[in-house]
Structure 1
Amino acid sequence: MADILAAPQQAKTDEQLRTLVAISTAHWVSHFHMLVLPMLFPFLKEQLGVGYIELGFALTVFAVTSGLTQAPIGYLADHIGARKILLMGLTLGGLALIMLGLHLSYPWLIASAVLLGLANSVYHPANYAILSAHMNEARMGRAFSIHTFAGYVGGAVAPATVAALVATTGGHGALLVTSAVGPLVALFLLVVGIPDASAADRQVAGTDAPRQNVITPALIVLTVFFMLLSLSNAGIGNFGVVALMSGYGVTFPAANIALTAFLGASAIGVLAGGFLADHTTRHGQVAAACFAVNAAIVFLIATVSLPLLLLTAAMASAGFLGGVIAPSRDMLVRNAAPAGAAGRAFGIVSTGFNIGGIISPLLFGWIMDQNLPHWVFGASVVFMVLTVLLALATEQGPQERSAASDARMMHP
């Protein structure tokens, strides 16, 4: 009898594991594809006969397209199904790269950037909608953390992978090979049979919640929260090496070691944050506490010339704490999302990342042009302090959390 009762539960657990692996693999593709074009800049510059300003404009086009389409894609994910949207995004990303590989020119580069931006806008709304609907509530934070960690890994392996492909197959070959990744993963998702998540499914089942306005004050605040997170990390991630070299007398290898420690510890922090998110309901307070300590550490880096060992340790600590808050960040959005609107909610707030991605290169580039390398870290501290305040503002009260939990139990 016990075996009979345990069988359905084991089958459900296995299905959740397959779903988590599949969705996390899709997120890996997202971060991998984001870095393919930047890693090919030397090849593209030579082949297209353009400067880095023209190449940088392609990345701006990517960021703007992704930012403008995140929220509409979230609405589509909730309306026609997150699974369909995700499969289309994976395929479209591959199409964008193979198109550039076959028709290498600057206009096609811009067109490819547009399609890559559109494909990138799919992942957060669709992935989080599926995870929110089908993961075990008690392990939701860990599911979010594994999903985020997979994205970090995709970004981490992209430079070496693209470099190896260029060395063995050339730039054209690298574009064609990397283009195959998206469609292959889409096929993998079809074979695995990932579940769907859409408002239409709940309406057919007769369990759809009354239509609610998704653009709530809480989600607006969380969108700003995501933007500040992007700004606080982008300065260190993109300009940390040149800032350490020009303002602190750190050598290029040492600065890269410090940045590697920051990025590597961020990935480890994400996994640790998943366990923490599953054992607390105070996600806003967790985020605020981690970023408050983070701000203090980065302030120390900004104001004191630390020995290399201490600098690396400080960078690693800052990266770890920045990673820890990622699952709590995602739980804040999930808690604020109306029932049946996870795709729209994550689509809206993820726009904040894109806004930060548009602003940060201009802001921190201007800071470096003004010969103020310490302010790369100093400005990051300012954004971190603002993030702490907003994290506390997004904390739900006990009654609100209880109501949100009840809604998810009624509309899983």
Structure 2
Amino acid sequence: MVDVLAAPQQVKADTSLRTLSAISAAHWVSHFHLMVLPMLFPFLKEQLGVGYIELGFALTVSAVVSGLTQAPIGYLADYIGARKILLIGLIVGGLALIMLGLHLSYAWLIASAVLLGIANSVYHPADYAILSAHMDEARMGRAFSIHTFAGFLGGAVAPAIVAALVATTGGHGALIVAGAAGPLVALLLVALGTPDASAADRQIDGARAPRQNVITPALIMLTIFFMLLNLSNAGIGNFGVVALMSGYGVTFSSANIALTAFLGFSAVGVLAGGFLADYTRRHSQVAAACFAVNAVIVLIIATIALPSLLLTAAMGTAGFLGGVIAPSRDMLVRNTAPAGAAGRAFGIVSTGFNLGGVVSPLLFGWIMDQNMPHWVFGASVVFMMLTVLLALVTDRKPQDVSEGLDEGLLQP
């Protein structure tokens, strides 16, 4: 009798593991593909005869396209199926790099950037829709954390992989081989039988559930929350090295070690945050507490010239706490989304990340141009404190948040 009862549970566990593995592999590809073009800038500059401004413009195009298409892709994921959208994204992103490798020109670079932006907009809505529908509720936070960690890992190993590909196959070959990862992982998803998720599939009491408006005040607040999260970390990640060198007299190697600690411990923090997210329902309080401590640590970095060892420890701790927040952040969105609307919800809030990605290079670049390197960390502290306040505001049930906003009565 025990074996008969245990068999369905084992089958469900195996299916969940295959699904999580496949979706995490897709997220790995998304972050890996985002790094391919930047890693090939020296090759592209020489081959195309353009400057870094023209190359940077391609990345801007990709970011803008991704930002504009996140929400529409989320709607498509909910209504035609998240798996279909994810497979299309993997193939389109892969073909964008493959075609650039076969027909290298600046026009193809911009076209590739557009396609990569569209492909990148697929992953968050589709991935989270599938995970939300098919992961064990008791392990949802850990599933989200493994998914996020896989993305971090894809970006972390991209420089080494691209460098190895250039050394063995040349720049053209590196684009083609890197691009091929997309269709290959799409085939993996099909082979593993990755399940679909769409609003058309969900039923309530045997009847299809009615359509619901997903753009609620609570979700709008979470979109702002995502934008502030990006702004809190982007300055340190993109300008931390130059700020430490010019404002604090830190050597190039010490600054890079500190940034490596920040990024590396962020990935470790994501995994730890998954366990925490599964053992608490107070996800906004977790985010607020971690960012409050982070703000203090970064404020110390901003105002005190720390010795290299302490600087690295402080940056690593800040990165770890920033990573811990990620699964709780994702659970906040999932808990806010109406049933069957995870794709739309994550598509909308991910637009906040894209908005932060557009604003942060301009803001922190301006700060450095004004010779105010201390404010790279100082501005991050300001954004962290705003994030804490907004997290505390969201520390209510989604329907309560919406009602409070509608009535103008919401208080932290």
* Superposition TM-score tier, normalisation by shorter sequence: over 0.9
Q: Within 5 Å, give how 1:165-314 maps onto structure 2.
A: 165-202=165-202, 206-314=206-314
Given residue 266 of structure 1, which amino acid in structure 2 is its aligned partner? S
Equivalent pair of 2:221/2:390 in contact (CA under 8 Å): yes
Structure 2 match to 1:47: 47
Kindly state the Cα deviation for residue 90 of structure 1 after the two structures are TM-superposed.
Answer: 0.2
Q: Percent identity?
A: 84
Kindly state the Cα deviation for residue 399 of structure 1 after the two structures are TM-superposed.
Answer: 8.5
Equivalent pair of 1:68/1:351 in contact (CA under 8 Å): yes
Given residue 69 of structure 2, which amino acid in structure 1 is its aligned partner? T
Equivalent pair of 2:86/2:122 in contact (CA under 8 Å): yes
Equivalent pair of 2:218/2:398 in contact (CA under 8 Å): no
Kindly state the Cα deviation for residue 228 of structure 1 after the two structures are TM-superposed.
Answer: 0.6
Q: Within 5 Å, give how 1:383-402 maps onto structure 2.
A: 383-397=383-397
Kindly state the Cα deviation for residue 200 of structure 1 after the two structures are TM-superposed.
Answer: 1.4
Kindly state the Cα deviation for residue 167 of structure 1 after the two structures are TM-superposed.
Answer: 1.5
Structure 2 match to 1:111: 111
Whether 2:372 is the aligned partner of 1:382: answer: no
> 1:86-131: CA deviations, max 9, x gaps?
0000000001001111111111100000000000000000000000
Kindly state the Cα deviation for residue 396 of structure 1 after the two structures are TM-superposed.
Answer: 2.1
TM-score normalised by length of structure 2: 0.96
For 2:249 and 2:98, the matched residues in 1 are separated by 43
For 1:89 and 1:204, the matched residues in 2 are separated by 30
Structure 2 match to 1:141: 141
For 1:205 and 1:178, the matched residues in 2 are separated by 46
Kindly state the Cα deviation for residue 207 of structure 1 after the two structures are TM-superposed.
Answer: 4.4
> 1:347-373: CA deviations, max 9, x gaps?
000000111111111111111111111
Whether 2:347 is the aligned partner of 1:341: answer: no
Structure 2, unaligned stretches of length 5 or more?
A: 402-412
For 2:178 and 2:396, the matched residues in 1 are separated by 43
> 1:172-227: CA deviations, max 9, x gaps?
01001101000000000000000100011226994433221110000000000000
What's the secondary structure of 2:202's corresponding residue? helix
Structure 1 match to 2:121: 121
What's the secondary structure of 2:208's corresponding residue? coil
What's the secondary structure of 2:350's corresponding residue? helix
Given residue 185 of structure 2, which amino acid in structure 1 is its aligned partner? V
Equivalent pair of 1:82/1:126 in contact (CA under 8 Å): yes
Distance 1:56 1:3, change over 3 A: same
Structure 1 match to 2:409: none
Structure 2 match to 1:409: none
Structure 1 match to 2:60: 60
What's the secondary structure of 1:154's corresponding residue? helix
Given residue 392 of structure 1, which amino acid in structure 2 is its aligned partner? L
For 2:215 and 2:275, the matched residues in 1 are separated by 30
Distance 1:397 1:59, change over 3 A: same
Given residue 131 of structure 2, which amino acid in structure 1 is its aligned partner? L
Given residue 209 of structure 2, which amino acid in structure 1 is its aligned partner? A
Q: Within 5 Å, give how 1:315-394 maps onto structure 2.
A: 315-394=315-394
Structure 1 match to 2:29: 29
- Considering only aligned residues, what root-mean-square deviation do their CA atoms show, in Å? 1.4
Given residue 162 of structure 1, which amino acid in structure 2 is its aligned partner? V
> 1:322-375: CA deviations, max 9, x gaps?
000000000000000011100000000000011111111111111111111111
> 1:1-51: CA deviations, max 9, x gaps?
100010001100110010001100100000000000000001111111111
For 1:342 and 1:305, the matched residues in 2 are separated by 45
Equivalent pair of 1:265/1:323 in contact (CA under 8 Å): yes
Which stretch shows the higher mean deviation, 201-210 or 343-352? 201-210
Equivalent pair of 1:208/1:340 in contact (CA under 8 Å): no
Given residue 130 of structure 1, which amino acid in structure 2 is its aligned partner? I
Given residue 392 of structure 2, which amino acid in structure 1 is its aligned partner? L
Given residue 240 of structure 1, which amino acid in structure 2 is its aligned partner? G
For 1:400 and 1:208, the matched residues in 2 are separated by 26
Structure 1, unaligned stretches of length 5 or more?
A: 402-412
For 1:294 and 1:123, the matched residues in 2 are separated by 28
TM-score normalised by length of structure 1: 0.96
Equivalent pair of 1:77/1:85 in contact (CA under 8 Å): yes
Structure 1 match to 2:408: none
For 1:285 and 1:397, the matched residues in 2 are separated by 13
